[in-house]
Amino acid sequence: MYDYTIVGGGILGLASAYRLLQERPGASLVVLEKEPGLARHQTGHNSGVIHAGVYYQPGSLKARLCKEGAERTIRFCEDRGIPYERCGKLIVATDADEVERLKGLEERVIANGLDYERISADRMKEIEPNVAGMAALLVHATGIVDYSQICEKFAEDVRSAGGEIRTGQTVTGIVERDSEITVETTSDTFTARTLVVCAGLQGDRLAMMSGIDIDFRVLPFRGEYYEVNRQRANLVKRLIYPVPDPSLPFLGVHLTRHIDGSLSVGPNAVLSFGRETYSGNYPVPQDMADMMRFPGFYKLMARFAAAGLYELRGSISKSVYLERCRKYCPALTLNDLEPKEPGIRAQTVSADGNLVDDFLFLETARSLHVCNAPSPAATSALPIADEIVSRALRKAN
């Protein structure tokens, strides 16, 4: 019998395993991952941004965890020789309305205690000659990294602390008893005192497997990107973002530099007809059926119909997508954009059709399920793992 079983070889499962073995050296622990390798879903398909925490409500858990997470991510990268860069993020206002909204954003940046600079149109020409706008904010702390590389280092530490990582293990059943909890996979059975589940896009299904009565579902939203062809990847030096719509701050395609030297445009957010369909948006019967049976799906679609259609137009038409980026980067052309694999976000939606914004943890006597971990959960992985570990340790006796 193990002390701990952790389901999920994404950044949260691995960070939790890493932190648990630091807190309880010598504990027996196994991480179960269904894919043949680690970080194959959200963690390996994200933008690779170390967020500074610009948009979050000052004083909120998200704001605090993001700031702390960014600092700890960078320290971890420095200690472990993982490449990262604090390239900064330029939020560009292109019309009078956006200039007004930028002022509100500046107040938030100040309230969140972030180091920033106000950038005039002239200064913008000097620092980013290919970006056009009326005004901008430059947030210095935002950076870039490859989260898969961080996961590899977490995994290395877990193994050297005696933990096991078993890939190709799809969890199909969970049976909880007074003194133990058993996880069945397609090929094995694992019994532990405590179970932690960080299953991302499958989080609702695993919670139901544990017998938890949930009133939400995970709906998958594709984040589609284009890669800017390599010869033009030095078009910008920083991350370039539009001023967000305050009601949907996660929308708005941006230009993202990556630590491998590439540059991407995106992501958007369109409904995915499958939870793990990276090669195309084709319907997966089980995923579609779960979505159609969930009343929150229809309420969400009705509430966000206009935003959904806007995103869909950009998804269908490359030139519509391009025009949205050309607003602040007119140098981009259709020929610059090459297809890139999308990411699929696990968006937890409540039965009344609301997007669940906060991190959501559900528990049984012997299990803890992370049921919502939206962006910036990769940035905040270490402090989120601390929260998971402290909850898991309370169970572990």
Ligand X SMILES: Cc1cc2nc3c(=O)[nH]c(=O)nc-3n(C[C@H](O)[C@H](O)[C@H](O)COP(=O)(O)OP(=O)(O)OC[C@H]3O[C@@H](n4cnc5c(N)ncnc54)[C@H](O)[C@@H]3O)c2cc1C
* Residue from the set 114, 236, 332, 377 that interacts with ligand X by CB under 6 A: 377
Footprint of ligand X on residues 168-197 (CB under 6 A)? 169-171
* Dist CA 208 CA 301 (whole Å): 24
The nearest distance, CB 205 to ligand X, in angstroms, is 7
The dihedral region occupied by 252, where left means phi > 0, alpha psi between -120 and 50, and beta the remainder, is left
* Dist CA 90 CA 83 (whole Å): 21
Please report whether residue 220 would count as binding ligand X according to CB under 6 A: no
Please report whether residue 264 would count as binding ligand X according to CB under 6 A: no
Element (H, E) at 369: strand 367-372
Please report whether residue 13 would count as binding ligand X according to CB under 6 A: yes
Please report whether residue 10 would count as binding ligand X according to CB under 6 A: yes
Please report whether residue 87 would count as binding ligand X according to CB under 6 A: no
* Dist CA 123 CA 306 (whole Å): 35
* Residue from the set 87, 199, 271, 325 that interacts with ligand X by CB under 6 A: 199
The dihedral region occupied by 8, where left means phi > 0, alpha psi between -120 and 50, and beta the remainder, is left
Please report whether residue 157 would count as binding ligand X according to CB under 6 A: no
The nearest distance, CB 122 to ligand X, in angstroms, is 30
Q: Give the CA-trace dihedral at 153, 159, 163, 167, to 10 degrees.
A: 80
Footprint of ligand X on residues 323-362 (CB under 6 A)? 343-345
* Residue from the set 220, 223, 296, 314 that interacts with ligand X by CB under 6 A: 223
Q: Give the CA-trace dihedral at 58, 62, 65, 67, to 10 degrees.
A: -50
* Residue from the set 88, 296, 374, 383 that interacts with ligand X by CB under 6 A: 374
Backbone angles phi, psi at 339, to 5 degrees: -65, 150
* Residue from the set 6, 20, 21, 48 that interacts with ligand X by CB under 6 A: 48
Q: Of 76-84, 120-128, 201-209, 239-247, which part binds ligand X (CB under 6 A)?
A: 201-209
Q: Of 111-119, 125-133, 154-162, 200-208, which part binds ligand X (CB under 6 A)?
A: 200-208
* Residue from the set 373, 382, 389, 392 that interacts with ligand X by CB under 6 A: 373
* Dist CA 126 CA 90 (whole Å): 13
Please report whether residue 375 would count as binding ligand X according to CB under 6 A: yes
Q: Of 234-242, 293-301, 357-365, 377-385, which part binds ligand X (CB under 6 A)?
A: 377-385
DSSP string over 295-333: HHHHHHHHHTHHHHHHHHHHHH-HHHHHHHHHTT-TT--
The nearest distance, CB 389 to ligand X, in angstroms, is 15
Residue nearest ligand X by beta-carbon distance:
10
* Residue from the set 4, 5, 7, 84 that interacts with ligand X by CB under 6 A: 7
Query: How is residue 72 written in tokens?
Result: 């700890």
Burial class (CB in 10 A: 0-12, 13-18, 19+), 212: middle
The nearest distance, CB 70 to ligand X, in angstroms, is 9
Please report whether residue 46 would count as binding ligand X according to CB under 6 A: yes
Q: Of the two residues 94 and 170, which places its CB atom closer to ligand X in the complex?
A: 170
The nearest distance, CB 375 to ligand X, in angstroms, is 4
Q: Of the two residues 16 and 135, which places its CB atom closer to ligand X in the complex?
A: 16
* Residue from the set 4, 5, 6, 8 that interacts with ligand X by CB under 6 A: 8
Query: How is residue 384 written in tokens?
Result: 């989120």
Query: How is residue 196 written in tokens?
Result: 């932690």
Beta 135-139 vs 116-120: how paired, if at all? antiparallel
Q: Of 9-17, 124-132, 210-218, 243-251, which part binds ligand X (CB under 6 A)?
A: 9-17
Query: How is residue 116 written in tokens?
Result: 């920033």
In sign, the C-alpha dihedral spanning 308, 313, 319, 324 is: negative
Interface ranges with ligand X (CB under 6 A): 7-13, 32-35, 40-43, 45-49, 51, 169-171, 198-202, 206, 223, 267, 343-345, 373-379
